[in-house]
Chains A and B, each alone.
Chain A
Amino acid sequence: MSEAYIHTEELCFSYVDADGRSENRALNGISVDIQKGEYVAVLGHNGSGKSTFAKLLNLILEPTSGRLVIDGVEMTGRELSDEEVLQLRRKVGMVFQNPDNQLVATIVEEDVAFGPENLGVPHPELRERVDGALSAVDMTDFAQHEPHRLSGGQKQRVAIAGIIAMMPECIIFDESTAMLDPIGRKEVLDAIRMLNRERGITVLNITHYMNEAAMADRILVISDGRLLMDGTPDEIFARRDELQEAGLEVPQCAALIHRLREAGIPIEGDRISTVEGCADMIVDYFQKRA
């Protein structure tokens, strides 16, 4: 038995067309282990199956075949009780792309309370959880506001607070920054990093932004419903040509190192996923030459 928090074996999923006959295979056998407390980015271009993968992990979609084990609990190959599904969704929370489409209540604090209310959390713990979750994403001042008057980044932080209030062990961000402006994106990414580093929450960030992926401990690259690559950001961005075949570009700093090397400047080192790392490598190279 594997010790991983999330364990998948040959996970497949097919969308069935409206006519019920033709199938559209979105995910084609993904096997991966994700440990507790990891910060994993899932990369892929549009239609690669990365969002489908995310939705399988808390059974919003049911896998067509393959095996899924979450926190040691077998999720496939048997009938799950409603209670088990609820437990799974409590443990594995999910934040979606469009902040407008995931807020339910007309007042911020009531929206944050929605998850724990559904779980039947009693007073006064419910109040503590809501206040705690709002302060974790720095939205306490907005507790009485109406969601539609907040900025995109603020709405998304409210959505995150709504998940935190359920006390999850893992949060999946399904392109949660895609619709935000740069400021909103930074707010959300800061919140994600804080949750991972300070609270030990396992994070899966589904994205097509390379710079976001570079913040993770580990990157999974999905292309055409298959797991193409699995490694640290440094390892992944070193394989520029393979990424390009999957329709992805490396971050600018990594691209610079690749091009310098192609131009015959043999820069050493492998810390190409961060700007600082690339800068250090270039400085090292010139210092050695001097």
Chain B
Amino acid sequence: MKGVAFGQYYAAESPIHRLDPRAKVIMAILYIVCTFLCKNLAGFIALVASALLLTLFSKIPLRLILRSLRPILVIIIFTSIINVFMTRGEVLLTPESWKIKIYAEGLWNALFMILRISILIIGTGIFLTYTTTPIALTDALEYLLSPLKVFKAPVHDFAMMMTIALRFIPTLTEETEKIMNAQKARGADFTTGSLIKRAKALIPILIPLFVSAFNRAFDLASAMECRCYHGGKGRTRLNVLHYRAVDFVAMMLVVAFGVGLFFLNRYGFGYTLS
């Protein structure tokens, strides 16, 4: 039962699911750096292989992972078009007489750009959103950002806000459904008409929802005061995160991968990004 099932979280028993959420945040950042380290064909082959390997380890269906690329499809297409047509190189693929000139370098650049963006999204998905519950992610961020407390950054308050938001998403969703049904029962129509008409139909839902959300906020604030909440000072925690050896090994693997990419850039083969 543990784990809220909204967002992209995919419940499964995998080595990646079991890693400490802090380790996963760090690994995600390192992996992003890796995608930007890649400069030549050998590097990108290694990168694609690593992404496939991660998918295998995380036990997340490939189809689900590819679906995560859908929202950024437009960006991918746009950047590749720009790359194909705007790159000036030496190997011309189109006849001299054409106005539009496409160079081989442009195609390579476009391919690398597509891979880089896709694997960036896939990697962060596998390390974070697919394998880590939002609440574990919040915990991890509170731990990782806690050094910022020295600069008076409200790290605890931020984490508390996130927790409460996550706690109330299902409650408010339920409430929205109730209000919608109540308005439907009185003849409201949310599904037909122009976009503007439909947007206007949402007002009778949003107003009661906001009123109730504020009332809930007042109640919750009183309840929290009753339970001696006074910010993060002197607070202990029931469930403390503990790094295990495997977390360090996993982080080291990503670092090693990055170092490997660095050498591939130098001694690898294939087209190299300038």
A94 in contact with B163 (CB, 8 Å) = no
Contacts of A130 in B (CB 8 A): 238
Q: How far is the CB of B122 from chain A (nearest CB, A)?
A: 27
Tell me which of A102, A116, A130 has the highest count of chain B C-beta atoms within 10 A of its own C-beta: A102
Q: How far is the CB of A144 from chain B (nearest CB, A)?
A: 5
Contacts of A159 in B (CB 8 A): 223
**B198-235 interface bits toward A, Cβ cutoff 8 Å, 1 = contact, 0 = none:** 00000000000000000110011011111111100011
A106 in contact with B236 (CB, 8 Å) = no
- Closest A residue to B138 by CB, please name it: A106
Q: Does B186 contact A (CB under 8 A)?
A: no
B227 in contact with A82 (CB, 8 Å) = no
CA distance in complex: A106, B166 (Å)? 7
CA distance in complex: A222, B240 (Å)? 46
Contacts of B174 in A (CB 8 A): 148
A113 in contact with B238 (CB, 8 Å) = yes
Q: Does B135 contact A (CB under 8 A)?
A: yes
Given contacts A89-B227, A94-B226, contact A104 B236 (CB under 8 A): no
Within 8 A of B (CB), among A100-118: 100-107, 109-110, 113-118
B228 in contact with A126 (CB, 8 Å) = no
A110 touches which of B1, B164, B223, B239 (Cβ 8 Å): B239
Contacts of A116 in B (CB 8 A): 236
Q: Does B15 contact A (CB under 8 A)?
A: no
- Closest A residue to B238 by CB, please name it: A113
CA distance in complex: A93, B224 (Å)? 11
CA distance in complex: A96, B216 (Å)? 12
A107 touches which of B135, B171, B216 (Cβ 8 Å): B135
- Closest B residue to A162 by CB, please name it: B227
Contacts of A162 in B (CB 8 A): 227
- For this complex, 21 residue pairs linking A to B, each with C-beta atoms less than 8 Å apart, are A58-B226, A89-B225, A89-B226, A94-B223, A94-B226, A98-B216, A102-B220, A103-B167, A104-B223, A107-B135, A109-B238, A110-B238, A116-B236, A117-B236, A118-B227, A120-B234, A123-B236, A146-B170, A147-B167, A166-B227, A166-B228
A119 in contact with B1 (CB, 8 Å) = no
A146 in contact with B236 (CB, 8 Å) = no
Chain A residues within 8 Å of B, Cβ to Cβ: 55, 58, 60, 82, 86, 89-90, 93-94, 96, 98, 100-107, 109-110, 113-123, 126-127, 130, 144-149, 159, 162-163, 166
- Closest A residue to B222 by CB, please name it: A60
CA distance in complex: A100, B216 (Å)? 8
**B78-94 interface bits toward A, Cβ cutoff 8 Å, 1 = contact, 0 = none:** 00000000000000000
Interface of B is mostly: helix
A100 in contact with B228 (CB, 8 Å) = no
Contacts of B1 in A (CB 8 A): 144-146, 149
B227 in contact with A106 (CB, 8 Å) = no
Q: Does B149 contact A (CB under 8 A)?
A: no
CA distance in complex: A280, B218 (Å)? 47
A120 in contact with B235 (CB, 8 Å) = yes
Given contacts A60-B222, A101-B220, A102-B219, contact A118 B228 (CB under 8 A): yes
B229 in contact with A114 (CB, 8 Å) = yes
Q: Does B250 contact A (CB under 8 A)?
A: no
Contacts of B135 in A (CB 8 A): 106-107
CA distance in complex: A130, B223 (Å)? 18
CA distance in complex: A93, B167 (Å)? 22
CA distance in complex: A93, B230 (Å)? 15
Q: Does B2 contact A (CB under 8 A)?
A: yes
Q: Does B244 contact A (CB under 8 A)?
A: no
B230 touches which of A82, A147, A148 (Cβ 8 Å): A82
Given contacts A98-B219, A101-B219, contact A148 B228 (CB under 8 A): no
Contacts of B2 in A (CB 8 A): 107, 144
Q: Does B155 contact A (CB under 8 A)?
A: no
B228 touches which of A89, A102, A103, A110 (Cβ 8 Å): A89
Contacts of A86 in B (CB 8 A): 228, 230
CA distance in complex: A121, B226 (Å)? 16
Contacts of A122 in B (CB 8 A): 236
A127 touches which of B4, B223, B234, B238 (Cβ 8 Å): B238
Q: How far is the CB of A111 from chain B (nearest CB, A)?
A: 9
CA distance in complex: A148, B224 (Å)? 18
A106 touches which of B167, B215, B224 (Cβ 8 Å): B167
Q: Does B237 contact A (CB under 8 A)?
A: yes
Contacts of B234 in A (CB 8 A): 120
Given contacts A103-B167, A106-B4, contact A117 B235 (CB under 8 A): yes
A104 touches which of B4, B215, B224, B235 (Cβ 8 Å): B224
A96 in contact with B224 (CB, 8 Å) = no
CA distance in complex: A50, B55 (Å)? 59
CA distance in complex: A241, B240 (Å)? 59
Contacts of A117 in B (CB 8 A): 235-238
B163 touches which of A96, A105, A127, A145 (Cβ 8 Å): A105
- Closest B residue to A130 by CB, please name it: B238
Q: How far is the CB of B134 from chain A (nearest CB, A)?
A: 8
Contacts of A121 in B (CB 8 A): 236
